[in-house]
């Protein structure tokens, strides 16, 4: 059950699972301080992580192996191991923050640690905490310098789009590795924060816009029929 929601018939060559903006804001509000920092987001997708990062960091460099939108540049992050030059603006990077393909997580972390001067943060499934390979590659070498920030609320990821109403059995958190100083605790919890950190504009700025109506059921009417009424969203930034 620990899996993302894939769309039937979609192109599975790319790991196209956009990150909820509130999940990125939770990292910046409760886990790491990005004030004055330069951040490289090498899996920028449609920019759903880049936009909230720019609310906190001084500079955000956005790249991806495929150009999903005009927001990011095309660059294969893992090609740095093969001698590729960094893109313009990424000569000095404080943090690398990303939502990498799960099967390439160790590769992304290995490359990111050679790029970032301060640290690396990856949003991952909670099951990343297990596995002999990850223990040898990540947890043992960085013992005392990593932490896992577990979301108390579930973060559902759907292939190819943001779906505010999606649910999931998969648990997610932020794996954070600092290079300069030890983390205060190996395991921390991100308290419920979606209501405070999620905004209407998170969903209407992207290229795929959800309908600005939501449907709710009313009580059963005459003859047992269920009457359905649509309600427009308010014009404020908040959904609620």
pLDDT digits (tens, 9 = 90+) for 21-76: 999 999 999 999 999 999 999 999 888 999 999 999 999 999 999 888 768 899 99
Strands 187-190 and 226-232, sheet pairing: unpaired
d(CA 109, CA 102): 11
Average of per-residue pLDDT across 142-151 = 92
- Per DSSP, what are the bridge partners of residue 98? 122
Average of per-residue pLDDT across 2-31 = 72
Q: In the CATH hierarchy, which fold is given to the domain comprising 21-204?
A: Rossmann fold (3.40.50)
Q: What is the pTM of this model?
A: 0.80
Strands 213-220 and 226-232, sheet pairing: antiparallel
pLDDT digits (tens, 9 = 90+) for 210-227: 443 434 434 444 444 434
Q: What is the pLDDT of residue 106?
A: 92
Concatenating the DSSP letter of every residue in 8-31 gives TT--TTS---PPPHHHHHHHHHHT
Report domain extents, the chain.
21-204
Average pLDDT of the chain to the nearest whole number: 82
pLDDT band at 239 (very low <50, low <70, confident <90, very high): very low
d(CA 189, CA 171): 12
pLDDT digits (tens, 9 = 90+) for 91-100: 999 999 999 9
């Amino acid at each position: 059950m620990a899996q993302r929601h894939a769309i039937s018939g979609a192109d599975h060559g790319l790991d196209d699972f956009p990150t909820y903006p509130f999940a990125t804001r939770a990292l910046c509000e409760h886990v790491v301080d990005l004030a004055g920092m330069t951040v490289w987001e090498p899996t920028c997708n449609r920019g759903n992580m880049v936009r909230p990062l720019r609310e906190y960091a001084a500079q955000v460099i956005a790249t991806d192996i495929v150009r999903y939108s005009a927001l990011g540049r095309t660059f294969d992050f893992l090609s740095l191991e093969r001698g590729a030059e960094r893109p313009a603006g990424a000569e000095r990077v404080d943090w690398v923050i990303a939502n990498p393909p799960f099967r390439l997580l160790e590769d992304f972390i290995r490359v990111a640690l050679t790029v970032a001067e301060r640290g690396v943060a990856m949003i991952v499934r909670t099951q990343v905490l297990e596995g002999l390979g990850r223990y040898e590659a990540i947890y043992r070498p960085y013992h005392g310098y990593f932490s896992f920030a577990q979301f108390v609320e579930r973060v559902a990821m759907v292939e190819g789009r943001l779906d505010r109403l999606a649910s999931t059995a998969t648990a997610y958190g932020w794996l954070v590795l600092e290079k300069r100083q030890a983390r205060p605790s190996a395991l921390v919890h991100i308290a419920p924060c979606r209501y405070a950190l999620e905004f209407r504009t998170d969903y209407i700025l992207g290229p795929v816009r959800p309908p600005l109506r939501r449907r709710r059921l009313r009580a059963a009417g005459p003859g047992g029929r269920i009457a359905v009424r649509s309600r427009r969203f308010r014009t404020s930034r908040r959904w609620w």
